[in-house]
Amino acid sequence: MVDEIKELNQDTEVVVLYCQHGLCDEAKASAWSEQACGLSVRAIMMPCSSKIEVHYVLRILESGADAVEIIACPEKSCKFLVGSRRAEKRVEYLRGLLERIGYTPERVGISRRLAQSPQELIDLAKARADAVRPFGINPMKKGEQQ
């Protein structure tokens, strides 16, 4: 279930959680990576975006990722019918939680896309990185980690 790209040695670290239907068929089985300026992308495939729980994303942020971008299928295309809508609500909820503890909500985002190429996913990660960069690196990166 986990596809990992080789880490790129740049600043902003974005983890992409994508529904298996969010990546085009040709790309699914293969590792994909692209070097991009100021960006390090790690991609993890999920069976459905609704499998993404709030605490799962929080643990990724706690471990130091600067941002998490979730790629969910558009409303009418979700194979589990309401899965991607649930994912969207959870992202909203999580953004609110982050704000309440003094973190920018921009550290989590969601895009509704289908059958993207690896480059398209990286572009989405880049957009997320751009959104979060003004707020600095994740405070969890400084010093000792749990």
Contact residues toward another protein (CB under 8 A) are 53-55, 58-59, 61-62, 97, 100-103, 139-140, 142-144, 146
Block residue for tokens 């707020």 = 135
Q: Are the C-beta atoms of 8 and 36 separated by less than 8 Å? A: yes
74 vs 139, beta carbon nearer another protein = 139
- Least distance between another protein and beta carbon 58 (Å): 4
- Least distance between another protein and beta carbon 5 (Å): 24
- Least distance between another protein and beta carbon 145 (Å): 9
Q: Are the C-beta atoms of 49 and 72 separated by less than 8 Å? A: yes
Q: How far apart are CA 40 and CA 33, in angstroms?
A: 10
For 43-61, give the DSSP string.
Answer: EEEES-GGG--HHHHHHHH
- Least distance between another protein and beta carbon 142 (Å): 8
Residues near 41 by Cβ (< 8 Å), separated by ≥ 6?
5, 8, 14, 15, 16, 33, 34, 121, 122, 125
58 vs 127, beta carbon nearer another protein = 58
26 vs 92, beta carbon nearer another protein = 92
- Least distance between another protein and beta carbon 54 (Å): 5
Phi, psi of 53 (to 5 degrees): -95, 155
38 vs 139, beta carbon nearer another protein = 139
9 vs 146, beta carbon nearer another protein = 146
